[in-house]
Structures are given as structure tokens and as C-alpha cells.
Amino acid sequence: MKMTPMIETFVMHFGEMGSRWGFNRTVGQMYALLVITKDPISANEIAEALSISRGNVSMGLKELQSWQLIQLQHKPADRKDYFQTNGSIWDMANRVFEERRKREMDPTLSLLRDILLDTPANEQEQHAQDKLKEVHDLLEGITKWSSELQRLSPEKLDTLMKLGSGVGKVLDMKDKLLKRTNE
């Protein structure tokens, strides 16, 4: 499989972004290739397109399967395994976010909860606990909010994103109305 310059640019960039999202560069490149390829492709085709070893492809495919980002396909009369993405781009975003939450947010929230249960030994620790409570509450709020977003359909998420700053304007109007009713 030969990549065009446009496809190669995207695949290489996605690999760099993947390393920031929680998986290595090669796995990111493999996923990008699967995202933009119309038909399921074999591990050998992935290895050829990305100029990487078949063993590296095999490990990357296992990681992508563990994230539930790809699925295995079979073709009639062909013994090879073929792979394609599992779901839409919205599904991918939800899975990546969920995996990041499990790996990053949950352990941090757990640590913060444990620290907040301790009795502060002095004023400095009390101040630290107060600040850690703020961090905890922020992360807890983000986690709850993102869970609610994940329950929305892609169409509703798209609409919500298109509202953009309009949501802030609606909230400002609500505050003004509440202020008037309280006066």
C-alpha cells in the first residue's frame, strides 16, 4: 500500500498527536491509516505503508484492540486478518477520553480523596488540603461533565459545539433575568 503525500502528512501528524493522547507514535500512525482507509487492511499492508516491522504492527494492533478502537474483519476465502476502525470519529474520541480518564483522572482523584481524609497536622497542611479540595472539586466536576457529554449522541454533541460562545451568552441572560426577579 502506497500513501499519497496528503495521506502521509496526516498519518505522520496523527502519530505525533497519538503520543500526546496516551499511545505511542507508531500506534497513532497505524490508527490514522485505518481511519482514512476505506476498506479493511491487513497487518502486512499496514507494515508496508508505514515501513515498520510486522512484529511492531502486531503489538500496535493489540493495543488498538485493547482500546476498542479497531475491529478484526475476515474476507471470504482469505486466511488473513483485516482491520478497520470500530465506530465513528465520535466513538473514537469517547474511547480515548474514557481511557485517559481511567489512566489519569481516576488515580489522581483517588489520591486526592485519600489526602483529604487525613487530619492536617498544622496550618500549612490545612492550607494545602484546602487547595487540594479545590483541585479535587474541579477534577470531579470535569469528570461528571464529561460523562454527561459522553452520553449525548454525536448529533447533539455537534450542535452543542456549534453553539460555542452562545452558551455563555445564554447563561449571562439567565443571570440577568434572575437578578431582575430577585430585585
User: Per-residue pLDDT for 45 more than 90?
Assistant: yes
**φ, ψ dihedrals at 28, nearest 5°:** -60, -40
Q: Name the residue ranges covered by the structural domains of the chain.
A: 5-85, 89-161
**Per-residue pLDDT tens digits for 103-128:** 889 999 999 999 999 999 999 999 99
- SS3 label, residue 39: coil
**Per-residue pLDDT tens digits for 17-43:** 887 877 899 999 999 999 999 999 999
- Residue 22 one-letter amino acid: G
Contacts 24+ apart (CB under 8 A), 18-21: 21/96, 21/100
Pull the grid cell for residue 167. Answer: 452558551
In whole angstroms, give the CA distance from residue 3 to residue 48. Answer: 10
Instruction: Say whether pTM exceeds 0.75.
Output: no
Mean pLDDT computed over every residue of the chain: 91
Looking at domain 5-85, its CATH class is mainly alpha
139 touches 109 (CB < 8 A): yes
- Residue 135 one-letter amino acid: V
In whole angstroms, give the CA distance from residue 23 to residue 63. Answer: 8
DSSP state of 79: -
Which residues, including other chains, have CB under 8 Å from residue 10's CB and lie 6 or more apart?
32, 36
User: Among 83, 76, 39, 79, which Cα is nearest to 60's?
Assistant: 83
In whole angstroms, give the CA distance from residue 33 to residue 21. Answer: 17
More confidently predicted of 2 and 53? 53
Q: What is the pLDDT of residue 10?
A: 96
Kindly calculate the radius of gyration of the chain based on its CA atoms and give it in whole angstroms.
Answer: 23
In whole angstroms, give the CA distance from residue 136 to residue 70. Answer: 34
Helix, strand, coil percent content, the chain, rounded in steps of 5: 75, 5, 20
Give me the mean pLDDT over the 69-91 stretch: 91
